[in-house]
Amino acid sequence: IEKSNYAPKQIADNLKIPLSTLENLMNGDFEYFSKVSLTDVAKRLSSMLGEEINVIFEDEELKEEGQLKKKDTTYNKLRIFQFLMVAFLIVNLIFLYFLIQDLRFYNNILQRNIYTLNIINRGTSEIYVNKTVVPPNQNIQIQLAFGENLEIHGNQGETVIETPLVKYTVKLEDFEVSLSYGND
C-alpha cells in the first residue's frame, strides 16, 4: 500500500472501509477483524493494486504443522505394521519348512511300505528274532514290509519294539509282530 501510487484515503474509499480501519490494517492490528473480512479486503486490494495478496492465519499454520505430525505418526505406524507383517511371514515360512520336512518323511515311509523296526531286548536272557539272536540289553534293526511277520521267542523280561511312529513294550514269552494296512 505504501509503495503504490494511491493515497491512503483513496485506497480506503475504493475498499469501502473507513480510513482508521485501513490504518489499523497497515499497522498490523488485526484484532477486530474476522477471517472473512480480512480475506475480502485482501481480494479487493489485490484487484485494485494488481498484485496478489495472500492472507495466512496462525491457526492454519498450526493446522499444517499438526498435519505434518499426523503424517509422521501415520508413516511410523505403517512402518511398524510392515515390520510385523514381514516378521509374521518369516515365522510362517520357517514353520512351513519344518512341516514339509515332516510330511516328506512320513510320505517316504508310506511310499516304500517298509517300516524300520528297532527291537530292544531289556530282559536277562537272549531272545530270537526270526532266528537271529539278540543278547540282553542289546538291540537290532529290522526292516519289515506290510504283510510280513516277525516271530520273537524266548523273551524272559521286556522287549521294546520301536516303529517310526509308535513305541510298544511287550512282556510275552513268545509272540509275533505283523504289519498290515491301517493296523499295527
Q: Evaluate whether residue 144 is within a structural domain.
A: yes
**Structural domains of the chain, count:** 3
Find out whether 139 and 119 touch, Cβ atoms under 8 Å.
yes
Find out whether 160 and 168 touch, Cβ atoms under 8 Å.
yes
> Same domain, yes or no, for 125 and 174?
yes
Q: Which residues constitute the domain of residue 139?
A: 113-178
> Same domain, yes or no, for 105 and 61?
yes
pLDDT per position as a tens digit, 124-181: 889 999 888 999 999 999 888 777 888 988 888 899 998 878 888 998 888 888 876 6
pLDDT per position as a tens digit, 8-44: 787 777 778 777 777 777 777 777 777 777 777 778 8
| pLDDT-derived band at 83, boundaries 50, 70, 90 | very high
Q: Evaluate whether residue 133 is within a structural domain.
A: yes
**Within 13 A of 40's CA, how many CA atoms are on the CB side?**
9
